[in-house]
Amino acid sequence: MGGRFDGRGYGDVSGVLYDVSTDEDAFPRQGVAVFLASKGITDYAPGSKDWKREVLFTLVHEIGHGLNLPHAFDDGRDSALTWMNYPSRLDPEVFWNGFDHSFDERERHFLCHAPHADIAPGACAYATRRSNLLSGGRVGDAAFRDVPEPEDGDERARPLLQIGSLKPHYVFGEPVFLKVQLVNEGTSALRYAKAFDPSDGLLTVTIVKPRGEVRLVRAPFALCQNHRLRRLAPGGRVAFDGIFVAFDADGAIFDEPGRYTLSARYAGVPGHILTAPETRLRVLHPTREEERVAILVWDKPLLMRAIGLRQPLIARDDWESYREAVMHRLPVDPGNTTPAFLTYTAALGWMKPHKPACAPRGYEADLIKAGAHLREVRAAHLPSGVVRKKRQIARKLRRD
Ligand SMILES: [Zn+2]
């Protein structure tokens, strides 16, 4: 049980499934969390009947994901009365009147008859199943598929999706961020969910590697959240440039030099499944030192997790030796964002307290340290969130 989710989505995120699987260090579907300060739960008085109902529902729902059950609407069962649906997608009153606190027949069939590896946490990664008793759960699987087209003249809305990288070429081992943009090219407003990261469950990013290997970017965790729909006026555009894809739950992605092709699908505009035209980026051939520094990360799943979660303290020793190598062994290269990204990540780590449940002691947040790191960060070619964070912490430090 947590307070509020500290990341994209914040109060809208009511639960999370952690799903990380790499060869030597496999923990797929072994952790779930429920956020008691999320909007879906704080709508009700703590301790009241409805509050208990929401907490229990979210908890069983997340455990269901842990047992490899997808959202009912990802499996074509949009109106199923089960723990695995979102009551808000149906009429909540209809849902709660009909719901009898059970999984539906398909889910029960899966739980009773699927192979052990499909169900047991720690075995198959989320949404990967040996049986075909259930489908769905893959990132972007039609979360808004069967939502009827809004009636307010939306056929004149023309949503357009674009995806690209923040730089045309990258140094070997450099962090790669992607930017996705939604443009309304129509003459009437459209509604969209502002959920542009693969972990939000509505965006699927596909990357074709230089030798043809296809990678579907799989986030190390999946957020269950209330996707409130926002309005995008004609001619309007909205973008998110913080999609971190240097590595995902399955490990490194850009681990060979050459040309990579990016594409994306987005299910966050009701009534549409949008496809972005392909774009490309190139990873340059490394020097010996650049390659050595890059593999320091790719051989260490825990360090990748620490960087992915922007909390170096998760893998402190590996982090220190990696940082040391980046700062002192990489050739001086203003075009390489790796040092700036690492300094930024160190700053974020100091912005919040860190206390693992099993550790004897934790770390307090240290805004002075965070500020000192952030001042050094050159934000060029990093996501716009970096500049925002720099300003935010500078303001905070002035206030204190
Ligand atoms: Zn869910």
Asked which of 124-133, 252-261, 263-272, 349-358 is least confident by mean pLDDT, the reply is 349-358
CB 58 within 8 A of CB 34: yes
Asked which of 145-149, 190-194, 299-303, 378-382 is least confident by mean pLDDT, the reply is 145-149
User: pLDDT tier at 48 (50, 70, 90 boundaries)?
Assistant: very high
Q: Ligand 1 mean position to 301 CA, how many Å?
A: 25
Query: What pLDDT does residue 178 have?
Result: 97
pLDDT, average across residues 143-147 = 52
CATH of domain 154-283: 2.60.40.2970
The token pair at 118 is 């499909």
Distance CA 43, CA 241 (A): 31
The token pair at 156 is 């004149």
Q: Could you give the angle at the alpha carbon of 163 between the alpha carbons of 157 and 166, nearest 5°?
A: 135
Tens-digit pLDDT profile for residues 150-177: 555 556 778 999 999 999 999 999 999 9
- What region does 173 belong to: left with phi over 0, alpha with psi -120 to 50, or beta? left
pLDDT, average across residues 14-22 = 83
Q: Ligand 1 mean position to 283 CA, how many Å?
A: 35
The token pair at 225 is 């959240």
pLDDT, average across residues 359-369 = 85
Q: Ligand 1 mean position to 344 CA, how many Å?
A: 31
Measured in degrees and rounded to the nearest 5, phi and psi for residue 183 equal -120, 140
Measured in degrees and rounded to the nearest 5, phi and psi for residue 249 equal -60, -20
Distance CA 21, CA 23 (A): 7
Residue type, 289: E
Q: Ligand 1 mean position to 70 CA, how many Å?
A: 7
Distance CA 12, CA 4 (A): 9
Cα–Cα nearest to 387, from 328, 333, 344? 344
Exposure class string for 283-292: b at 16+ Cβ within 10 A, else e:
beebeeebee
What residue segments make up the domains of the chain, in order of their start?
10-119, 154-283, 288-399
Whether 26 shows a pLDDT value over 70: the answer reads no
Q: Ligand 1 mean position to 176 CA, how many Å?
A: 28
Q: Ligand 1 mean position to 16 CA, how many Å?
A: 7
Query: What pLDDT does residue 82 have?
Result: 97
CB 326 within 8 A of CB 342: yes
Distance CA 258, CA 370 (A): 36
Distance CA 337, CA 303 (A): 18
**Residue 175: burial class (beta carbons within 10 Å; 0-12, 13-18, 19+):** buried
- Residues 6 or more apart whose CB falls under 8 angstroms from that of 396 comprise 367
Query: What pLDDT does residue 359 have?
Result: 74
Strand partners, 258: 283
Q: Ligand 1 mean position to 19 CA, how many Å?
A: 13
Where is pLDDT greater, at 23 or 399?
399
Whether 253 shows a pLDDT value over 60: the answer reads yes
Mean pLDDT, rounded, of the chain: 89
pLDDT, average across residues 116-126 = 91
